[in-house]
Amino acid sequence: WYQRRVRGITIKSAATSLLWKGKQLNLIDTPGHIDFTVEVERALRVLDGAILVLCASSGVQTQTYTVYRQMKRYNVPFISFINKMDRYAANADRTIQQMREDMGLNAAFLYFPIGAERSFEGLVDVLGERSVYYEGDNGRTSCTRTCPPL
């Protein structure tokens, strides 16, 4: 249990609710490992939308294709989120390229990473025209700056 929590591994679906801008959101976190494909399938039957989480180090993996096919089967719209930019071999550009070439998706950045691996500092919010820098112990605090005009 402790190792799964430290490493951020989900081994069974979990649900929670929250209010956002006056609307109730019900979130379901499903395992990403192939051994839990049935858990993902069960959740997709009731979802209005999904977030496909990809690791910046590993990129598109076999299970990514499986989950993508499941989302298509149930017509679940989704956005993708590339995490673990601070890990060894993190490469968001490679992950986006894999999504385009290997999965046939029209993937694009809404947030560009600033740096990677040990030099990962934050994100550029393209739509918000600002940058967010993570500071302090493990990036627990953040600083927002306006992006200069192009």
The DSSP element (H or E) to which 131 belongs, if any, is strand 130-135
Looking at residue 90, what is its pLDDT?
A: 97
**Structure-model confidence comparison of residues 108 and 44, the more confident one:** 108
Task: Give residue 1's pLDDT.
Answer: 44
Is the pLDDT confidence value at 72 over 90?
yes
Q: Choose from 29-38, 82-91, 128-137 the range with maximum mean pLDDT.
A: 82-91
Residue 143 above 50 pLDDT? yes
C-alpha 89 chain-centroid distance: 17
Q: Within 10 A of 93 (CB to CB), how many other CB atoms are there?
A: 13
Higher pLDDT, 102 or 41: 102
Nearest one of 49, 124, 50, 51 to 85, comparing CA atoms: 124
Mean pLDDT of 35-57: 84
CA gyration radius, the chain = 17
Confidence category of residue 33, pLDDT binned at 50, 70, 90: low
Q: Over range 56-83, report the average pLDDT.
A: 93
pTM value is 0.81
